[in-house]
Amino acid sequence: MKKKEINISILIIILIIAAIATLILAVGLGPVTVSPSVVARILLQKIPGIGNMITEDWPTLASNIVLGLRLPRVLLGMIVGASLAVIGVTLQALVRNNLAEPFILGVSSGASAFATLGMLFGVFRIFGRFSLSISAFLGAAVTIIFVYLLSRVKGRINIAQLLLSGVAISMIMDGLTRFITLSAPNALGLHNATFWLSGSLAGAQWAYLSLPAIVLIVCTGVLILNYRGMNLLLLGEDSAGALGVNVRQLQKMLIIVASLMAGVTVSVSGTIGFVGLMVPHFTRLLVGANHKKVLPVSALLGGILVVWVDVVARMIIAPGELPVGILTAIIGGPLFIWMLKRKTKGV
């Protein structure tokens, strides 16, 4: 047991180092390349107590590119990737199936539909600067509740019913989203909404970071505190209840957490699919099924993955860029088929 604890600690340290390296390298990549050493010194200069020891010998353009353009985008990618991975872990624990994720269960589609409605027609403008986040949260919550209720047969979650319900609700929400976008009051709004729905970090700004970062930290903390209940829930509702877990309360908490994180994430990045499917799966291959380990490792892996996919997305057709959601779909679709076939063979 002690050996496993050391291994997970070493793994988390390695992933933190990898995340820092990813941050430095990704910020420097683009049409104008900034060397990793310059990026590191620019970032170190902003740290109190260390900045005074760094001599500024780089051009102002490099500082503007790093701090004004790329650093917010890379940080947003880290936050979005971590959030999507944690959402995937949460939903998989809720429905006790490793094939569950926001995109497949329609949660992302519901968040996108409500967010698009608010974006193009200002339906939720009463919430001010948080209108997009709140509208996406409401869409995610409505969708996950519908899917969850439809998947229950005789008081239990039926996996086949779950996947079919997710597909059906997702199609309904996607149809609603298309209807809303086609009804857009102007062509510019239609173009912006379409690009946003494809999943992109292009609009990253410093102002967009605080809310999703706070939601990620708080929700992940709540989940880690309830890791034991999530572990026992994998055994089945009856077994978890017999071992002292308040199953209904735990399920409600997971629904709220997943909806909140999905809503906030979709509001800042659009729909980025399959991250919540791929990352938890590979995390379990590394550390097993204990959510105390799965949650932090998934968050780190998800953040690193989305940042590098975004780097490819903005460089593959430079000076233009592809939406991140397109690349994750191209990568994640075949992976999901492989996982589905692998799971079917194991049954």
CATH code of residue 260:
1.10.3470.10
Three state DSSP letters for the chain = CHHHHHHHHHHHHHHHHHHHHHHHHHHHCCCCCCCHHHHHHHHHHCCCCCHHHCCCCCCHHHHHHHHHHHHHHHHHHHHHHHHHHHHHHHHHHHHCCCCCCCCCCCHHHHHHHHHHHHHHHCCCHHHHHHHHHHHHHHHHHHHHHHHHHHCEECCEECHHHHHHHHHHHHHHHHHHHHHHHHCCCCHHHHHHHHHHHCCCCCCCCHHHCHHHHHHHHHHHHHHHHCHHHHHHHCCCHHHHHHCCCCHHHHHHHHHHHHHHHHHHHHHHHCCCCCHHHHHHHHHHHHHCCCHHHHHHHHHHHHHHHHHHHHHHHHHCCCCCCCCHHHHHHHHHHHHHHHHHHHHHHHC
Asked if the structure places residue 14 within a domain, the reply is: no
Domain residues for the domain of 155 are 76-346
Read off the pTM.
0.85
Name the pLDDT band for 3 (thresholds 50, 70, 90): very low
Name the pLDDT band for 2 (thresholds 50, 70, 90): very low
Name the pLDDT band for 345 (thresholds 50, 70, 90): low
Q: Tens of pLDDT along 203-259? A: 788 888 998 999 999 999 999 999 999 999 988 888 888 988 898 899 889 988 988
Asked if the structure places residue 28 within a domain, the reply is: no
Asked if the structure places residue 191 within a domain, the reply is: yes
Asked if the structure places residue 17 within a domain, the reply is: no
Structural domains in the chain (count)? 1
Name the pLDDT band for 86 (thresholds 50, 70, 90): very high
Asked if the structure places residue 268 within a domain, the reply is: yes
Asked if the structure places residue 10 within a domain, the reply is: no
Asked if the structure places residue 202 within a domain, the reply is: yes
Asked if the structure places residue 43 within a domain, the reply is: no
